Structure 1
Amino acid sequence: MDDTVRRPAKGADSTSAADAVATLTAGRLVLLASLGALGALATNIMLPAFAAMARDLAVAPRDLAWTLSSFFIVFAVGQLFVGPLADTLGRAPFVIGGLVVFAAGGVICAVAPSLTVLIAGRVIQALGACATSVLARAIARDCFQGPELTRTLALVMIAMAAAPGFSPALGTAMTLLFGWRSIFVLVAVAAVLVAFHYRLSLGETLPPDRRRSARPSAIARTYGELALDPRFIFPALTVSLVIGCLYGFFGAAPAILMNGMGISSTGLSIFFAATVLVVFGSGLMAGRLARRWGAPRVGMAGVLIAMAGGLWLFLQAGAPTPAPFMAAVTLFLGGMGLINPIGTAIALEPFGDRAGGASALLGFMQMTFAALGTGMIGALPIGPATAYAWMVLGGTMIAAAAFVPVLLQRVGKVA
């Protein structure tokens, strides 16, 4: 049945208790997690298949990097349009439409006879995935607030972290058993199943009396207000910097662990999967710790833990060995698992009347820093291990500085 969430009209920036009337069920959690994770799944699942794809399409493996960069660019920019439009027309048209477009892109990739067509399919995938990613956060904000919002986002972020962790192993198995094209069939089928789940279990979460104008001037004003509002921009910048470091790891790990340390592709997949447990445990603790110590304090602790991992990477950057390198990355991921859901909840919670726009701008910032993080690994004239260490240490230090105003604001309220 269509379990639509309905609430009375409220003024801008309202966070009253009446705002959280939905119940976090297992079905809703799976749905939100699936919407948020599709983009990461579609990207990381194809990485182990690059060699087979290059042979089949008669291109150099490095040329396949265009399938990643084109996806990130469209994913980042597309969110800026989807969010405000979803604040005007509702969530449902863009959730269903995004999933249909995403599935169509997967089919095009599966039958692509050339790299050009494959890139086109990836662009279409990104157009669909940007809608699902934005609206996973926006729907969570529609339905929940306070500690429940933090808990919901923590569980969703766990799923989003699990997708890049487990998907390389899944991609390896699919490629060996059925060929690389089966990967794209799999993600297309997943999108169709999620669309049916959404239609049958949740439906529209933004009632008409809470929708906003979609005029270009209104959209521009919304983004301008968000960018200048310290309640949004400081936690959003913090989360985006840490996410950039995370994607930098995805980009650097094959060169560091496989080329530099001689770890096999299977070993790399196992390590990626093991990191999910770290993010899972950290994310589960985020909501509980936030209820006890306050979200800003726990968020700052997460940033500092991530920065400690960056410092450890920096100290061994010249000649990293597998165990210390993996331990430092694990420490960084533990901190990321705390700050990611907490920072996201802090950034979105004051803006229930424009959750789509806020989620879109946050997603744009995250994917921009993700593109910068992956690009820096290859662009810097130093080895990948050194480049990654500098990036994580510098990124987390700036993130900590950006989160200080959030912490001080809460301390001021308590005082």
Structure 2
Amino acid sequence: MGDDKMPQVTVMKSEGSLPASDISTMHTGTVLLLAALAAMGALATNIILPSFPSMARDLGVSIGQLSGTLSSFFLVFGLGQLVVGPLSDRFGRQRLVVSGLAIFMLGSIVCALADSLPALIAGRSIQALGVCATAVLSRAIARDLYDGEELARALSLTMVAMAAAPGFSPLIGGILSDALGWRALFIIIATVGLALALIYSMRLGETHLPDRRSPLSVGAVFRSYIALINDRRLMSPALAVSLVIGALYAFFSMAPAILLTGFGLSSLQFGVFFATTVVIVFTSGLIAPRVANRWGQMTATRIGLVVALVASVLMLLGPTNFKFFCFALSIFLLGMGLFNPLGTAIALHPFGKQAGAASALLGFMQMGCAALAITCGNLLPLPPYTVLGVVLLTALATAFLCFLTAK
């Protein structure tokens, strides 16, 4: 990226997309905005990870008990998407995005004022209820605007930008928490939510045109989801993507125990560690469209999945020291960064008119797999490092088998 510009994304004018004349000046800005919407959930989660020791001390709980703030977040996050997706297909994207960010801000304030673990979990659940809208609708908006290779490229570039949120947020969170305290983090991310709502309303607005909207009824929504669940074009790649995402969030959940407690990193070193992962995901996201263009989307996606699977084997069977952990994790992130955007594009491509519902179902599956992976990790009576290896290998092997049936 020597010229500091992202590759140009061509906006498709088919299937009800906005006219090219309306979007011709947006390309890079639109992708960055979609990435910011998609990354809010990861930002809200990862920015507080370095603060777990101080949060546990202030609330009188253990670091392990704080994992409840993650599993509850993912549960509400996943279920909420099932409602938001069909609502956006009927009423459009803009109202759902803005109202979701408002709810997210409310939840952040509740977290900032929490004086007990149940209150913190309640605030995190409210956050999840709001931010689930931005996650599911970032993908639906991308499907509104782009198609085919352009959709894959947009999602790849979104993944690149999204890497900055989970990568840099622990570093930022550690610095801000040391300076201002962990409660200030929630006020800061509430402010970010407000800024994002204003930018979205002024720059992008509505992308799901009235003539593309679907009728809304409980029966219609139920039938729509049943049809999607029975459609292998969606379910095979979506389940594989969801398992890989679940493995990634399992790492986020176990990282404080592995890095802060096990390897003895400071909160600043913990943040720096996460920041370095951005380079890997950034590189992988940039090469994903090029690999897909050269060898085909399906082949490129399989390559990424195999790379991540190999990394999970190394994590479980290799030595348990910090250097090897960094090596195995780097390989996993490289494969994950290649697989996820391409796998997501494959899953969503056939469902232009049902982009909201398809994206919602994909989001629900991702958060369901994340919650399942975290719960299983907490239940296994093994050291955190070993638990992570078991969870990664199980998730990646299952994802590989699922993707074998993808069309």
Give the TM-score normalised by structure 2. 0.92
How far apart are residue 20 of structure 1 and its match? 12
Q: Are residue 321 (structure 1) and residue 346 (structure 2) matched?
A: no
SS state at 1:352 partner? coil
Q: Secondary structure at the match of 2:352?
A: helix
Query: Could you say which residue in structure 2 is the equivalent of 1:402?
Result: 402
Contact 2:102 2:130 in 1 (8 A): yes
Q: How does 1:114-263 map to 2 (within 5 A)?
A: 114-263=116-265
Q: What amino acid does structure 1 have at the position aligned with 2:38?
A: G
SS at match of 2:225: helix
Note the C-alpha offset of 1:112.
2.6
- Deviation sequence 1:17-64 (CA, Å, 0-9, x none): 999984452221221011000111011111112222233334444433
Q: Name the structure 2 match of 1:364.
A: 364
CA distance in 2, matches of 1:263, 1:60: 18
Cα deviation 1:63-89 (Å, max 9, x = unaligned): 333222221111010000000110001
2:93 to 88, 91, 94: 91
Paired residue for 1:377?
A: 377
Instruction: State the partner residue of 1:342.
Output: 342
SS in 2 for 1:353: coil
Please tell me the residue identity of whatever aligns with 1:120.
A
Q: Is the 8 A contact 2:15 2:352 kept in 1?
A: no
Distance 1:113 1:378 in 2: 24
Query: Could you tell me how far apart the structure 2 residues matched to 1:365 and 1:176 are?
Result: 35
**Residue 207 of structure 2 aligns to a residue in which SS?**
coil
For structure 2, list consecutive stretches of 5 or more residues without a partner in the other structure: 1-10
* Equivalent residue number for residue 412 of structure 1: none
How far apart are the structure 2 equivalents of 1:46 and 1:386?
Answer: 24
Q: Distance in 1 between matches of 2:54 and 2:333?
A: 30
Match of 1:297 in 2: 299
Contact persistence 2:111–2:120 (CA under 8 A): yes
- 1:107 is displaced (CA, Å) by 1.7
How far residue 284 of structure 1 moved from its aligned partner, in angstroms, is 0.7
2:3 matched to which residue of 1? none
One-letter amino acid of the counterpart of residue 227, structure 1: I
2:100 and 2:308 map into 1 onto residues whose CA distance is 33
Larger mean CA deviation between 290-299 and 58-67 belongs to 58-67
RMSD across aligned positions (CA): 2.2
Quick one: distance in 2 between partners of 1:20 and 1:380? 55
Contact 1:7–1:21 (CA under 8 A) maintained in structure 2:
no
CA–CA distance in 1 between the matches of 2:42 and 2:216? Answer: 29
Alpha-carbon shift at residue 365 of structure 1 (Å): 0.5
Mapped partners of 1:17, 1:56: distance in 2: 50
Q: Secondary structure at the match of 2:354?
A: helix
Conservation of the 8 A alpha-carbon contact between 1:6 and 1:207: no
1:259-278 pair list within 5 angstroms: 259-278=261-280
- 1:51-70 alignment to 2 at 5 Å? 51-70=53-72
Alpha-carbon separation, structure 2, partners of 1:165 and 1:99: 22
Structure 2 distance, partners of 1:184, 1:18, is 38
1:283 to 272, 279, 285: 285
Query: In 1, distance between residues paired with 2:336 and 2:237?
Result: 13
Q: Please tell me the residue identity of whatever aligns with 2:383.
A: G
Distance 1:338 1:39, change over 3 A: same
Q: Which amino acid aligns with 1:321?
A: N
Aligned to 2:354: 354
Q: Quote the Cα distance in structure 1 between the aligned partners of 2:259 and 2:63.
A: 18
Distance apart, 1:7 and its partner CA: 6.0
Contact 1:80-1:360 at 8 Å conserved across structures: yes
Equivalences for residues 40-55 of structure 1 within 5 A: 40-55=42-57
Q: TM-score normalized by structure 1? A: 0.90
Residues 81 and 50 of structure 1, relative CA distance in 2, 3 Å threshold: same
Per-residue displacement from partner, 1:244-267 (whole Å, max 9, x unpaired)? 111111122232333333333332
Q: How many residues align?
A: 396
Q: Which deviates more, 234-243 or 161-170?
A: 161-170
The 2-side partners of 1:280 and 1:95 are apart by: 26
Deviation of 1:397 after TM superposition, in Å, equals: 1.8
Q: Give distance in 2, aligned partners of 1:213 and 1:387.
A: 46
Cα deviation code 1:379-411 (max 9, x no counterpart): 1122222222122222212212222233xx4xx
Distance 2:267 2:261 in 1: 10
Contact preservation (8 Å) 1:109, 1:184? yes
SS of residue in 2 equivalent to 1:125: helix
| Structure-2 residue corresponding to 1:13 | none
What one-letter code is carried by the residue in structure 2 that aligns with 1:145? D
Query: SS state of the match for residue 405, structure 1?
Result: coil
Change in Cα spacing, 1:377 to 1:9, as seen in structure 2 (3 Å) is: closer
How far apart, in 1, do the equivalents of 2:185 and 2:392 lie? 31
| AA in 2 matched with 1:367 | M
Amino acid at match of 1:124: I
Q: Out of 57-66 and 339-348, give the one that drifted further.
A: 57-66
How far apart in 1 are the matches of 2:176 and 2:382? 35
Q: Deviations over 1:195-226 (max 9, x none)?
A: 11111111100111111122111111111111
Please state whether the residue corresponding to 1:214 is helix, strand or coil: coil
